[in-house]
Amino acid sequence: MPFLLRLIAPIDRLSLALAGLLRWGVLLAVLLSAANALLRKTLDLGSNALLEGQWYLFAAVFLLGAGPVLLRNGHVRIDVLAQRFGLRVQALIDLLGLLLVVLPLCLLLIELSWPLFAEAWRSGEASANAGGLPRWPAWALLPLGFGLLALQTGAEALRRLAFLAGALPSPYAAAAAPAAGGPQP
């Protein structure tokens, strides 16, 4: 168990670092959107590359941000039901959900999306729009995002398992306390 517990911290650090980068992705997407709108409305100039870049950034924030959201316990859940149980029952429910739903879904989506990315990479697939962007970066976000979510899912499952075994005081400490010296999502 101690070896497995040592895996949690690097995964958490990766998620927190990624969250810090994704903040900049949100800002860049907003700036691209504003620039594209201004160019279209004031100078009657449009750019499919700017528009698609904004879409890619939104997709990156959404797909790559799932792990940090899970780390911070910010995912959707039915708190009305969860708050009726003690921490041990909540941790057990979380553990079962992570192992029986989230992790298999991540693995399935990685398996299904990898061939799409590989084919787009191999063929050099590009947007059908004039001046559009290559498509492989967008396709790469799918297996990458679900891979990162699977990693954080594993860390969260280990955290709950360690709590249930008495090796950690609370599985929700990472969500409540900021990481020392790391970026905050």
Reply yes or no on whether the pLDDT at 181 is more than 70: no
Assigned domain for 185 exists = no
How many Å apart are CA 106 and CA 169, to the nearest integer? 28
Q: Please, are residues 136 and 121 in contact by the beta-carbon 8 Å criterion?
A: yes
pTM exceeds cut of 0.95: no
Q: What is the mean pLDDT of residues 68-93?
A: 82
Q: Please, are residues 132 and 49 in contact by the beta-carbon 8 Å criterion?
A: yes
DSSP state letter for 53: H
Q: Please, are residues 25 and 106 in contact by the beta-carbon 8 Å criterion?
A: no
Assigned domain for 181 exists = no
> Who wins on pLDDT, 182 or 45?
45
Assigned domain for 183 exists = no
Domain count, the chain: 1
Q: CA quadruple 54, 56, 61, 62: dihedral positive or negative? A: positive
Reply yes or no on whether the pLDDT at 170 is more than 70: yes
How many Å apart are CA 155 and CA 80, to the nearest integer? 25
Which domain, by its residues, includes 52? 2-176
* Element holding 69 (H helix, E strand): helix 66-71
Residue 166's identity, in one-letter code, is G
> Who wins on pLDDT, 51 or 120?
120
Assigned domain for 51 exists = yes
Q: Please, are residues 67 and 174 in contact by the beta-carbon 8 Å criterion?
A: no
What the block records as the tokens of 47 is 């750019």
Reply yes or no on whether the pLDDT at 150 is more than 70: yes
User: To which residue do tokens 């729009």 refer?
Assistant: 129
Assigned domain for 120 exists = yes
Assigned domain for 55 exists = yes
Q: What percent of the chain has pLDDT over 90?
A: 57
Assigned domain for 74 exists = yes
Assigned domain for 157 exists = yes
> Who wins on pLDDT, 73 or 105?
105
pLDDT given at position 173:
63
Q: What is the mean pLDDT of residues 168-180?
A: 64
pLDDT given at position 120:
94
Q: What would the pLDDT profile of 31-62 be if each residue is shown by its tens digit?
A: 989 988 898 899 988 778 888 889 999 999 99
Mean pLDDT of the chain: 87
